[in-house]
Structure 1
Amino acid sequence: MESVAQWIRGEVLALMGPSGSGKTTLLNLLGGRLNRPNVGGGSITYNDGPYSKFLKSRIGFVTQDDILFPHLTVKGTLTYAALLRLPKTLTKEQKQKRAIDVIYELGLERCQDNMIGGPFVRGVSGGERKRVCIGNEIIINPSILFLDEPTSGLDSTTALKTVQLLQDMAVGGKTVVTTIHQPSSRLFHKFDKLILLGKGSLLYFGKSSEAMLYFSSIGCNPLIAMNPAEFLLDLANGNINDVSVPSELEDKVQIGNSDAGKRNRKPSPAAVHEYLVEAYETRVADKEKKKLMVPTPLDEEVKAKVSSQKRQWGASWWQQYTILFCRGIKERRHDYFSWLRITQVLSTAIILGLLWWKSDSNSLKGLQDQVNNGLVKAGLLFFIAVFWGFFPVFTAIFTFPQEKAMLSKERAADMYRLSAYFLARTTSDLPLDLILPVLFLLVVYFMAGLRMSVASFFLTMLTVFLSIIAAQGLGLAIGATLMDLKRATTLASVTVMTFMLAGGYFVKKSPDICIPGSAICLSTTTPISSSSRFNINT
């Protein structure tokens, strides 16, 4: 791999081919994102050595999907990436300066304070979002930059600007390898080297400007003026409409299924693929392999680093936790304090306060009204426990399914330890979880006329807060276990309903419970809603 990288250093190499030809698989293998045992034989070496964990700090990998936090700004996204990925030897100020330099290098200074945006959040344009993804990788100044279809979903002008940006990076000394699906003719001529794949086989490898000459030399020429990329993709698919073919292929025809039974004088796609693979193996492969096998002189220190299996964390465990904690609060504060959620909580609090307005907690009738209001409606305290005990469950369910892609992407780049992420993700919700319940209780507590003492108020607050923590843990567990929002929501609904029914306000008396094969039985002597005691009969 290093010999290839050395040969194309300062140039842009494009992996082109039809869908299913193996472009993304090859890119993932080269970038160390796919386990080699799953794809058969072969070997990949970097600087004449195997892939190591150290190389993750020297390789940038831009995925096809733009995986970014929608509520963070462009500057914030790149700053957090710099703090987590740049070496420990740099100070915080130096890392922040590197993020600003990348912003200006990518031409993002105009939108650096804008949110990234997403499906439900207005943000930057598609081209700017793609440049932010590239910035997340080049911020470590990688030796090799892999990109999976960086122009997908972009208009031709924006795609051209993106490829021009990649070319400028290559000129600066980086090795840039990108997959491309169907580029325009202007885009095609921007690439220095080209690999054409078809059904997992190599059909061409060399200068992109010489690709048409090569296929012309083996007898394949377009009969009409067309985009070179379109011509090459047609050949890789075995489609030879408007393409002249050599005599060797003209003899390999497939019988048509027309009623007249006439022969369709066109080779089958399989025959075309076989001919192209054979032509490359006999005419080009050996010559290119000799070029690539030229040894690259390497410094002994570089060899030692490449062969090292030790991870190069950009921050200590505590620094990773702190950075992820701050990032989590900044990202989720928009969801927690959205007008919809604030309105929901305050409206519920006001309605409860009006329904239980100044109920007398000192009399027996008032206590019964607050605790248990018979079959007509649940008591105030029961409703508070239900609302803040189960409302966070359905919020926490979405956590891991929604962040799985981001976690996988950042963990693949060794940005942080999994333990630091989990603890930061859990604790960063606690300050946010405390604010809305305090507002809720400030309204309900005094409107309903509950016991007016500081100790009682804070004890109520503590009880609600503990309910929130327990409910959040349940939601996280369900979401992480199933990783499917529909199934997780269904299971959470059943679990919540079970807890509500068994809470002592709907089911007044539970049946006797006996352990089969044992003399131990549990039976309730009084309704669950009052002080229940259990007798153990042996």
Structure 2
Amino acid sequence: MSILGARKINVMESDTIAEGSVISFHDINYVVETRKFPFSKPTKKVVLENMTGCFKPGLNAILGPTGGGKSSLLDVLAGRKEKTGLTGNILIDGLEQPDNFKCMSGYVVQDDIIMGTLTVRENLMFSANLRLPKTTPDKQKAERVNGVMEDLNITHVADSKVGTQFTRGISGGERKRTNIGMELIVNSSILFLDEPTTGLDASTANTVLELLHNISRKGKTIIFSIHQPRFSIFKLFDRMMLLSKGLPVYHGPSSEAALYFADIGYQCEPMNNPPDFFLDVIIGDSTTVSSVENGSAVASGTSKDPEAVTVDYRARSIIFNNKYLNSTWAQKVREETSDIFTEYKKKKDSGQKTKLQSIDFATGFLTQIYYLSQRALKNVVRDLAAAVMQMVVMTIFALLIGAIFFDLPKDEVKGVQNRVGAFFFFVMTQAFINFSAIEIFIRERVIFQHENVSGFYRTSSYFLSKVFCDLLPLRALPLIVFALIVYYMLGLEDTAGKFFFFLLTLYLTSVSCCAICLAMSATFETLAIANIATSLIFVIMTLFSGMLANIESIADWLEWLKYFSLMRFCLQGLLINEFEGQYYTKNENGTDVLTKAGESYLKEQEIDFGTDWNRWVNIVALASISVGYFTIGYIQLRRMKKLK
């Protein structure tokens, strides 16, 4: 190890670290199955192999080339990988991870996923209200939020909106620190961060890591993946693990990494950035020639053949892994982790407690709904563009329909035909005006996945808050305006009972359309596919509405689809409401004769009428369709893949 010129990197001297949690991992292997095509035979891919190590309070970095396994190891340690294909043991302070460890630790994802319409303080208070124990007084929550903002140096933007893609907000560095603050609120002893410097300029990245360094001195174990840090960031690290093709090639104090590479024959020049040098050596791009392996498989140089480069890279990774495993640094790690695991086995064999106590959600179901609803309403109020556009479009449609069908006559032919045409247009308007609801879960999918996995709230709480504070209210007011305009411009039956039945029918139609859009939004990840699926459902429902083809003339093996057509039930409800008991005029030899042409039309279409149930059965059917698709949406939300 005493190579001439080998240097030990001086870490920041500030620097006593308070006691905190130790996370150790023992013989971790992670294998996934991949397919080239949907129905092709799966092949196994080794993502992590023989990973053993230990992270202590302080800054712990996981470095490596792209595809080296950094994020995979981070997610495995954080309990955010599916258990399939994962073997080995992960211990927290010598005890097994509980199944919901991801709810007990903090995890900052690579992309900033916070609600842009809320202020920095409101986002942090949202985290505090849902993740701190329900017995915590509001004053103490506010103090915790203020303390986190001071630690992260974001007090000056506390009351500024974070910003969305359409509205300007705080800077990228301030967004990143707010994202970190959301996890620091719970004051967990372990914090994970996936590429915390991604998207930040060099100065801002340095500021973020300095803040994390200061926080780690308080006894917090901070573990993060990072690709190629500058030297000023690298010297903040306490420990590091260097990966290549899922294999460890160094694990130990970051200040000794250059000494290790010098010991195996790779000298880092004084003016070279150590992390850049390490990666160059691993992937074979270094211009530094090995002083101990003349011409061996690890010698510098790259192949022009892409396949050869891949083979060389894998071969180099194995050789560097073997060198590390035979080093004194690996020996120290084995001794350290062996002591921890031996103590764990003793406890397990003697029947002592060997698993950390798991925690449930910090707050109750109703409390979660309250704060989620509060956030949803703020989001709607502060992002009025969609709501205003919904109102404007519905008003324009209403005026257009009112102008076309203005003051409908009670003529036997024109009166009936125009009413049927207008009602069909009403139904189609409700179907396609609600396409905007498809965005509901697609737009917030990433936020929901992260917050749900991190233990902010239950899936049911989120779902109900979106339905009752976002979907339903946004559709109610525009629909009332629409109904008032068209009902009286068209001159439909002027009784309160019939108007409110008309309004209820249209509203339930709108809700049913929303429920379908919501179900597709929860099922598909991309807006385009969700749009296609929703359009297909609406087209099929329209075909079986009874307007374009007589239901009784449809083939028997397809006729059952009529029971799933919301257009059919809406049309039937509107037609019965308007035609039942009403007289229309028919000119016979210059004399107007009263006929029940509307009821005749209902008979022709084989629509049952004459009793209250014949009318209200359509309301029940629409409500059932709404509940059915809302249920599908909820099930799909629960089934949504939240772990990587």
TM-score category, normalised to shorter length? 0.7 to 0.9
Residue 425 in 1 paired to residue 425 in 2? Answer: no
Match of residue 264 from structure 1:
none
Residue 473 in 1 paired to residue 539 in 2? Answer: no
Aligned to 1:404, which of 445, 464, 469? 445
Structure 1 counterpart of 2:522, one-letter code: A
Equivalent residues in 2 for 1:35-114, closer than 5 Å: 35-39=82-86, 41-53=87-99, 55-114=101-160
Structure 1 counterpart of 2:111, one-letter code: D
Match of residue 413 from structure 1:
454
Matched residue of 1:150: which SS? Answer: coil
Do 1:349 and 1:440's aligned partners in 2 also have CA atoms closer than 8 Å? yes
Do 2:96 and 2:356's aligned partners in 1 also have CA atoms closer than 8 Å? no
Q: Distance in 1 between matches of 2:369 and 2:298?
A: 65
Matched residue of 1:44: which SS? Answer: strand
Aligned to 1:21, which of 57, 62, 68? 68
Q: Distance in 2 between matches of 1:432 and 1:368?
A: 33
Do 1:3 and 1:295's aligned partners in 2 also have CA atoms closer than 8 Å? no
Aligned to 1:464, which of 498, 501, 506? 506
Q: Distance in 2 between matches of 1:514 and 1:30?
A: 57
Distance 1:527 1:311, change over 3 A: farther
Structure 1 counterpart of 2:320, one-letter code: L
Q: Distance in 2 between matches of 1:24 and 1:504?
A: 55
Matched residue of 2:153: which SS? Answer: coil
Residue 311 in 1 paired to residue 356 in 2? Answer: no
Aligned to 1:343, which of 392, 407, 421? 392
* Superposition TM-score, scaled by structure 2 size: 0.71
Matched residue of 2:233: which SS? Answer: helix
Match of residue 176 from structure 2:
130
How far does residue 157 in structure 1 lie from its aligned partner after superposition? Answer: 0.7
Do 1:58 and 1:141's aligned partners in 2 also have CA atoms closer than 8 Å? no
Structure 1 counterpart of 2:241, one-letter code: I
Q: Distance in 2 between matches of 1:512 and 1:418?
A: 41
Do 2:105 and 2:189's aligned partners in 1 also have CA atoms closer than 8 Å? yes
Residue 455 in 1 paired to residue 497 in 2? Answer: yes
How far does residue 84 in structure 1 lie from its aligned partner after superposition? Answer: 1.1
How far does residue 308 in structure 1 lie from its aligned partner after superposition? Answer: 5.0
Match of residue 533 from structure 1:
606
Equivalent residues in 2 for 1:253-272, closer than 5 Å: 269-270=313-314, 272=316
Distance 1:113 1:451, change over 3 A: farther
Equivalent residues in 2 for 1:189-204, closer than 5 Å: 189-204=235-250
Do 2:145 and 2:185's aligned partners in 1 also have CA atoms closer than 8 Å? yes
Query: 1:336-380 CA deviation, whole Å, 9 max, x = no partner?
Result: 7444333322222222233333x05666577436513xxxxx32x
Matched residue of 1:248: which SS? Answer: coil
Q: Distance in 2 between matches of 1:76 and 1:54?
A: 26
How far does residue 159 in structure 1 lie from its aligned partner after superposition? Answer: 0.3
Structure 2 unpaired stretches of 5+: 1-20, 26-52, 305-310, 559-597, 609-644
Matched residue of 1:13: which SS? Answer: strand
Structure 2 counterpart of 1:285, one-letter code: A
Matched residue of 2:163: which SS? Answer: coil
Q: Distance in 1 between matches of 2:547 and 2:374?
A: 41
Matched residue of 2:90: which SS? Answer: coil
Distance 1:472 1:336, change over 3 A: farther
Structure 1 counterpart of 2:317, one-letter code: H
Matched residue of 2:462: which SS? Answer: helix
Mean Cα deviation higher: 117-126 or 191-200: 117-126
Mean Cα deviation higher: 342-351 or 175-184: 342-351
Do 2:289 and 2:299's aligned partners in 1 also have CA atoms closer than 8 Å? no
Q: Distance in 1 between matches of 2:390 and 2:300?
A: 67
Do 1:84 and 1:416's aligned partners in 2 also have CA atoms closer than 8 Å? yes
Number of equivalent positions: 506
Residue 281 in 1 paired to residue 325 in 2? Answer: yes
Matched residue of 1:498: which SS? Answer: helix
Q: Distance in 2 between matches of 1:292 and 1:13?
A: 16
Structure 1 unpaired stretches of 5+: 260-266, 373-377, 517-525
Aligned to 1:321, which of 348, 361, 369? 369
Q: Distance in 2 between matches of 1:256 and 1:398?
A: 50
Equivalent residues in 2 for 1:224-239, closer than 5 Å: 225-239=271-285
* Superposition TM-score, scaled by structure 1 size: 0.84
Q: Distance in 2 between matches of 1:71 and 1:201?
A: 42
Percent same amino acid at aligned positions?
31
Q: Distance in 2 between matches of 1:502 and 1:292?
A: 67
CA RMSD of superposed structures (Å): 3.5
Match of residue 487 from structure 1:
529
Matched residue of 1:178: which SS? Answer: strand
Structure 2 counterpart of 1:2, one-letter code: V
Distance 1:8 1:270, change over 3 A: closer
Distance 1:364 1:251, change over 3 A: closer
Q: Distance in 2 between matches of 1:257 and 1:113?
A: 53
Matched residue of 2:451: which SS? Answer: helix
